[in-house]
Every structure is written in C-alpha cells, then in structure tokens.
Amino acid sequence: MYRKELISSNSLETAGPTKFTNVVKRLKEEHSSLEEKLNHLYIKAEQAQGNRDMSVTLNLLLLLRVDVKNLMKELGAHEEWEELQVYPIASAYFKQRIRPSITPSIWVLEKEHEIVKQCFQPFLLLSKEIIATVENNQAKVFKQLNLCLVYLLQGCSVLQEHIELEEGLIYPLVDEIIAAIGHKEISI
C-alpha cells in the first residue's frame, strides 16, 4: 500500500529529468506488457466459455491458471515499483506546486490492485476445484467454469480500467513535471 513516509521533497531532488523520463518510459512499458497479457487472458477466457469440449476447456483452464499466476506476480512487482518510484515523484510535485493532495487518487489506484487480486483469487480456487472434480459431474463443472471465468473476466476488466485511470492521472503530469524541472520551478 502507498506509504506516506516516502513522500518528501527529496523525491524530486533525486528525480532529475533523465531519471523521471526513464520512470515514465518504464511505466508505459509495464502497462503495455500488462495490457498485452490481459488481452490474451480475455481471448482464452472467451474460448473457454464458448467451448463445449471438456478436454479443450480444461486445457484452456490450465493455461489460464498459469497465466493468471504469472500476471499476479508481474502486477505485484509493478505495484511495488510504482509505490517506490512513480507515486513519490507525483506526490512531491503536487506538494511543491501547492495543489490538492494526489494521495487520495493514488490510494484509489492502489485499492484497485487489491480488487484485482480479490477477483483473481476466486478464479484460481474455483479453477483448481473444477480440474479436480471434472470426471464426477460435467454439468456441474460447466456451471462452475462459467462462474470461475466471470471472476477472471471481472479481474481483467478492473485491471484494464485501473491502467487507463492511472495513465489518465500520471501521463498528463509528465510534460508539466519535465517542464517544471527544466525551468527550475521545482527543486531537483
């Protein structure tokens, strides 16, 4: 979760124009990677939802489980990096510009990470259950599969919206912060 103690004027002092542009470049690259993985999850989930061949569906479910676990690891690392690199710079900039605090907006973005995890966890649990019980009752499995995929698709949707909101908050500041650093309007 976002740590207020990390926010200080030192965040901008250590974030020169080059470092800041590298942070923004990495943010864009990581968001692009996350969006690409989300796209693949959507496609596989829709294939699983529309398929009535149990063996194909189970294979897709197994692949989805691996992909979701990998995405959650990547998202965790991304979240930690944002807390340490992106949010302190943005918060310090707002503080020096005498603007309303950006902290509530960052808190909402961080909360969305938790919501995504809350969607992906039931998917992982249900998909594990489905795989274990498939031979006993295929009709029940298809019903559970649909519920399972709803969790996955909801998590994907929340994460996609989160990326868009985060970019809507951070990207407009990029040019402004770079200009302020260049004009020495804020301390570096």
138, amino acid identity: Q
CA distance linking residue 185 with residue 177, whole number of Å: 9
pTM equals: 0.74
| Tens digit of each residue's pLDDT (9 = 90 or more) over 158-178 | 999 989 988 888 888 777 777
- Neighbouring residues of 52: CB distance < 8 A, sequence distance ≥ 6: 142
- Per-residue pLDDT of 84-106, as tens digits, reads 888 787 777 766 554 555 566 67
Cα 129 from Cα 46, distance rounded (Å): 20
Q: How far apart are CA 116 and CA 74, in angstroms?
A: 13
Contact partners, residue 108, CB within 8 Å, separation at least 6:
165
